[in-house]
Chain A
């Protein structure tokens, strides 16, 4: 029994070492399901197109498109999303994937921006309000209204390219007022102001 097993193994080994391309095909076929499951349910890498999330993603000074990792597990399995998270969602108007920031969750009241017909809107249960960081180049909830939670595909986890901004998104913080006011300082101040203005338009529901 052991003898035949050994003989089988050696002949299999010889066969595979003489047919290298077959070996590669087999190992690809074996690993493919693992890779598909991983990208479908855990993490996936995407490149960002467009200016709607400037200056967080694709800022003007960057010559490349940002390449980022999206976390599907947090949305599909753990179902956690919060105000301020950057998410990829299917656009309700053309089903394409878009990247936006969650501004308000269900129950919150938002003061809307111009294209929206009402001045103020209360987010119905099961819905969220999403906006791009750059309101002039963004097609967001101010255009199509609150979106159902089920449209969210994944949550941005961290940037991998360009290397200068590698890592998770930082929470905007007030820059040190005594530091020298170079362009980087002013950029940080502007981001922080933008965040403050955006959150000033949201009244958070009491129960959450």
Chain B
């Protein structure tokens, strides 16, 4: 998640009172890792149920022609720093039952305090 959050860590505000159905593409979601139940991870939501996603456009983890349909009640997530991220390219769509919350704002360090706005652009 490098450009959004730094390696050294920071304090963020998380909204846990969300319903996973009302998330939108571009939100920062936190969920229990499907690989290790003791870890909570934060990724950017890319695909909602029913979307067709290209697994890896760079072709490194999967052939760049491979596309998947995100199943019902699942989301597709991806880290902002794609080269160093274990995300849906590795473990596939994530069930909404694993979602814990959505990040709202960064509050520490104070010089970099921001509200995480939805930065998802749709290309016509």
Q: Flag A111-154 by CB within 8 Å of B: 1 or 0 each.
A: 00000000000001111000000000000000000011111100
Complex CA–CA separation, A94 to B73 (angstroms):
6
Q: Which positions 12-62 of chain B face chain A at CB distance < 8 Å? A: 20, 32-38
Q: How many A-B residue pairs have CB under 8 A?
A: 47
Given the interface pairs A91-B97, A92-B97, the reply to whether A150 lies near B37 with Cβ below 8 Å is yes
Q: Are B74 and A92 in contact (CB under 8 A)?
A: yes
Q: Are A90 and B97 in contact (CB under 8 A)?
A: yes
Complex CA–CA separation, A164 to B95 (angstroms):
38
Q: A150 — which chain B residues lie within 8 A by C-beta?
A: 32-34, 36-37, 98
Complex CA–CA separation, A90 to B20 (angstroms):
14
Size category of the A interface is 10 to 19
Complex CA–CA separation, A149 to B38 (angstroms):
10
What's the tally of chain B residues with a CB closer than 8 Å to chain A?
Answer: 17
Contact for B20 among A79, A91, A93, A95, CB less than 8 A: A95
Q: Are B95 and A92 in contact (CB under 8 A)?
A: yes
Q: A95 — which chain B residues lie within 8 A by C-beta?
A: 20, 73, 95-97
Q: For B20, B34, B73, which residue has the most chain A Cβ atoms within 10 angstroms? A: B34
Complex CA–CA separation, A149 to B36 (angstroms):
8
Q: Is B71 an interface residue (CB 8 A)?
A: yes
Contact for B95 among A79, A124, A125, A148, CB less than 8 A: A148
Q: Is B117 an interface residue (CB 8 A)?
A: no
CB of B31 to closest CB in A, whole Å = 8
What residue of chain B has the Cβ atom nearest to residue A96's Cβ?
Answer: B97
Q: Flag A156-189 by CB within 8 Å of B: 1 or 0 each.
A: 0000000000000000000000000000000000
Complex CA–CA separation, A94 to B38 (angstroms):
23
What residue of chain B has the Cβ atom nearest to residue A126's Cβ?
Answer: B35
Given the interface pairs A148-B95, A150-B32, A150-B98, the reply to whether A93 lies near B37 with Cβ below 8 Å is no
Q: Flag B83-124 by CB within 8 Å of A: 1 or 0 each.
A: 000000001000111100000000000000000000000000
Q: Is B72 an interface residue (CB 8 A)?
A: yes
Complex CA–CA separation, A189 to B67 (angstroms):
48
Complex CA–CA separation, A79 to B32 (angstroms):
14
Q: For B73, B91, B97, which residue has the most chain A Cβ atoms within 10 angstroms? A: B97
Q: B73 — which chain A residues lie within 8 A by C-beta?
A: 92-95
Contact for A126 among B20, B34, B71, CB less than 8 A: B34
Complex CA–CA separation, A127 to B97 (angstroms):
15
Question: 8 smallest A-B Cβ distances: which pairs?
Answer: A90-B97, A148-B34, A150-B37, A92-B95, A150-B32, A95-B97, A126-B35, A149-B37
* Residues on A facing B (Cβ under 8 Å): 79, 90-95, 124-127, 147-152
* Residues on B facing A (Cβ under 8 Å): 20, 32-38, 71-74, 91, 95-98
